[in-house]
A and B are shown apart, each in its own frame.
Chain A
C-alpha cells in the first residue's frame, strides 16, 4: 500500500527544484558592444519589461550574473575581454548571442571583426535579427528558461559533457589569405581579383 503524502507537502527532485529557482531568477550580464545594446536596454525598460520573466536584475559585474547577453559586434581586441568576463561568471551560467553580428559577424566581414562569438566562447541560444526586437530577446530568455528546465542539474553536471568545440566547423566565407583586393573597385568582379 502506497504511503499517502501529507497535505501541504510537495515531493520533487532537487534538480527540479534548483532548475525552477534558477530559471525564474536569471541575472543577465549585458555585454553590449553596439546597437543591439539599445534593444537590450529597451527590453529592460518599462514597455517590454523583462522583469515579467524574472531577469530584470542586470549587473555590470560578471561575478553576480549567470546569463551573458552578447549584444553587438565583437572585434578581435575585445575577444580576450569577452573570454575573461565569461570565465569570471560563476556556475551555473548561460550565454545568449544576440543579433546577427554576435552570431556571425553580420555585415562586418572585415579584418578586425570576429565572425561569430561561438568561435571563442560556448553559446546556448542565438537570436537572429539586425537588431532583434525586444520580443525576440524575451523569447530567447524564455528559451533559456526552457533549456534550464529540461537539462539543468543541481551541481551543473550537464556542462561537463559539453567538452567539444561547438563553434562553426568551416566557414565558407573565410577566404584564403592570398586573396587581394583591387583598388579602385571593379564592379564586375565585386572588387575581388579573378584567378
Chain B
C-alpha cells in the first residue's frame, strides 16, 4: 500500500474514533489535529483524564509512550509545557496521541496510573525533567537524576551547564586517600 493510501486509511479510522468520543464526551471537550499519520486529540489539562479514560474504554489498552516539552520562546506557543500520551489499540493497531498543556506555577496533571500501570516510570521521567507533578502517582520521585538535584534540567530557562550541581562534591586529596 502506498504511503498516501495508508495515511488516508489511518485518518479515516481516526475520524471515526474522534466522532465516537465526541458523542460520548461532548463536542467541545477536545480538538483534533493531524500530521501525516500522527492523529492527535488536544485537550485542556482538566479534561485530559476524562478523554484518556474514554480512550481506554474504547480499546486503547496500551500506553506506548508519554513525554513532555517546554515551549518557552517557541514561536506562537500559548502555554508553557506540553505533555502527550501515545496510545495504541493492540487489537486493531490503531494509534492516537492525546496532548495537553500545563502552565507555571505548579504545573500539575492527574496521574494515569489507574489506567495504565506502564505510566509509572514515564511520569517520573517527565517530573524529573520538567517538574510537572502527577497527582495520584504512587511514587513520584526523580528517576534519572540524583535525589538531591534541585532543578528540572529540560526546562528551557535552565542553563545548559547547570547551576553548579555537577561540581558540588568534596575533592579527595592524595594525602587523605
Contact = CB atoms under 8 A, between A and B. Distances in A.
Interface of A: 75-77, 79-80, 83, 86-87, 109-115, 119-122, 159-167, 173-175, 177-184
A13 to B, nearest CB: 23
A183 B166 contact: no
A107 to B, nearest CB: 13
B169 A83 contact: yes
A112 to B, nearest CB: 6
Contact of B159 (A162, A166, A180): A180
Contacts of A77: 145-146
B173 interface: yes
B164 A177 contact: yes
Given A165-B171, A167-B171, A181-B156, A86 B161 contact: no
B166 A115 contact: yes
Interface residues of B, number: 29
A163 B173 contact: yes
Contact of A111 (B73, B162, B176): B162
Give the 10 A-B CB pairs with smallest separation, nearest first.
Answer: A111-B162, A162-B174, A122-B174, A163-B175, A76-B166, A177-B163, A183-B156, A179-B159, A183-B73, A79-B169
Contacts of A177: 159, 162-164
A183 B77 CA distance: 12
Nearest to A167: B171
A163 B177 CA distance: 10
Contacts of B162: 110-112, 177
Interface string B24-68: 000000000000000000000000000000000000000000000
B118 interface: no
Contacts of B175: 159-163
Contact of A122 (B157, B168, B173): B173
26 contacts: A76-B146, A76-B165, A76-B167, A76-B168, A77-B146, A80-B169, A87-B177, A109-B160, A110-B162, A111-B158, A114-B166, A115-B166, A119-B167, A119-B171, A120-B170, A121-B172, A162-B173, A163-B175, A163-B176, A173-B161, A178-B159, A179-B161, A181-B157, A181-B158, A181-B159, A182-B73
Contacts of B174: 122, 159, 162-163, 166
Nearest to B157: A180
Contacts of A164: 173
Contacts of B160: 109-111, 181
Most buried by A among B169, B171, B174: B174
Interface in B66-107: 72-74
A111 B165 contact: yes
B161 to A, nearest CB: 5
A165 B173 contact: yes
